[in-house]
Structure 1
């Protein structure tokens, strides 16, 4: 196929000129190496961290889901990775965002599991009922357990309650003051900046 359609590299999934490809063949060229495999979740795949970051785990060892003598909690693992003497993990921004995303995902799944176990004894048929779901949403029973997930509506609702509590205890603020430097009006700063940048 590569020589027939003049594809430049082995890993390319489309030819260099897509119009030529459409003239030669009506069937699309599809590369799907995992086509018949079952999808796995980020939380259930035990090797995803080592496979996603081979430059951080060159031997494939040391990820969170490995067997240890002493079990680590997720937050302890993240602190150990980011604040260790090996700065490779802290220097990789994509790894930091991966840890943040996975932590948020764990909190969301945990909140959902708690909500369904404790507060919402319902069947799958009841969860499809629109009236039942609107009732649960109005009573705030669905989102109540997501208070620990940053950015969720319940998180901000809790912060608003904290703010109201502070104003009730401490009183309303009398004034706000914002201090910022007017660095573009400093003659010395502008002179130094121009001298260094040319």
Structure 2
């Protein structure tokens, strides 16, 4: 038996005498295992979670529902309805490539930066300063190009039974955006 290819474990009885020997395959690249798996393999359960896709209407609706759920949990003072699901939908899909882990990392880091900088809201300018995982960043350019050229969108089409949302005519004007949403634009450092 090759010791390099296997772990040899001797089990001793309570009186100290050897009772049995067991051999397990060693953690190596040859048998597809990694040494980290030897340490964590029995502590975790692998769950398969496919990435979100936006090539069909059903996938775009799932993506929007995810962003709406995530948006409800964002705790920033200047957040507004639609901040993620409307304003940043395509951007977040391109940055995360539809992977939930990448999306959550991006969202968490974006919220941290928004608090640290005092912005207290998520927008593309702030999110451009946030780093994300290497795999998502590598695939980002191709997705961004397709989204920019309107060959792809993450936004679902409105259903016949839903009211059609019109685009904000002045997206860069916070007062106009807030007026459309029915919220007031109050300066931060105003005296009461």
TM-score, normalised on structure 1? 0.20
Report the structure, 1 or 2, having the larger helix content.
Answer: 1
Identify the structure with bigger relative contact order (alpha carbons < 8 Å, sequence gap 6+).
Answer: 2
Larger Rg: 1
Structure that is richer in strand per residue: 2
